[in-house]
Amino acid sequence: MNISKAKILSLLDLTSLNDDDTPAVIDALCRNATQAIGKVAAVCVYPPFVAQSRARLPESSGINVATVVNFPTGDEPLADVLAQTQQALADGANEIDLVFPYKALQQGNAAAGEAMCNQIATLVHQQAGSLKVILETGALSPAEIAQAAQIAIAAGADFLKTSTGKIAHGASLEASAILLDQIAQAKQPVGLKISGGVRDIATAEAYIAQAAAKMGADWVQPENFRIGASSLLKELISC
């Protein structure tokens, strides 16, 4: 499958989620969101940098501003996550990446994930935003991945996302195959975001080819498929 650099760039959520992020780092991230070959789908930053990112990337730019909540552990109180989400939306985020309470799921408490996804989806959709649910697939068994995906989809997730990128095991083709199976069975449109370990074009191409084989080549568009990365950009814009 021949995939252009411009195509991969258009699928990118250009991400900076580092403990040492500063306003200068975020300014540089926003500048890099537009390149000679095109622009990324979104930038993804920590909540304190949402307002800055939106100021640098007005809605007219066509570049979305994403942020993370319940991140990275997935075990914050629901009231706190709702407050984080409300503030992020007020600051200008139009995409919320929510960590599914995967530890609760492993302990037999699937209801925690259902309640959180339902309430955050309602809040996000009231503001015409998009919800990506991070399933932290590297910490889950195949059966748990499928179960979490089903809960997230039923609650109104717009995307399933593989990973936070903050644990040892990030995305894998095996996990993304499970998510694509659940997406294919969904009664409403659901996208896929690959995150956690995509650092070169060859890896990105493998996930794109997998998604195209399952869902069709036309499905692999920014409204359905994203890659969360930062280091990938350097290879995309190199000669």
- Six-digit token string for 64: 């979305």
Determine which one of 13, 91, 97, 158 is catalytic: 97
Q: Are 68 and 46 in contact (CB under 8 A)?
A: yes
Whether 91 is catalytic: no
| Burial category of 63 from C-beta neighbours within 10 Å (exposed 0-12, middle 13-18, buried 19 and up) | buried
Whether 193 is catalytic: yes
Determine which one of 7, 39, 132, 161 is catalytic: 161
Choose among 205, 192, 177: nearest CA to 41: 192
Please report the DSSP string for 146-214 in residue order. Answer: HHHHHHHHHHT-SEEE---S-SS----HHHHHHHHHHHHH-SS--EEEEESS--SHHHHHHHHHHHHHH
Whether 214 is catalytic: no
- Give the active site residues: 97, 161, 193
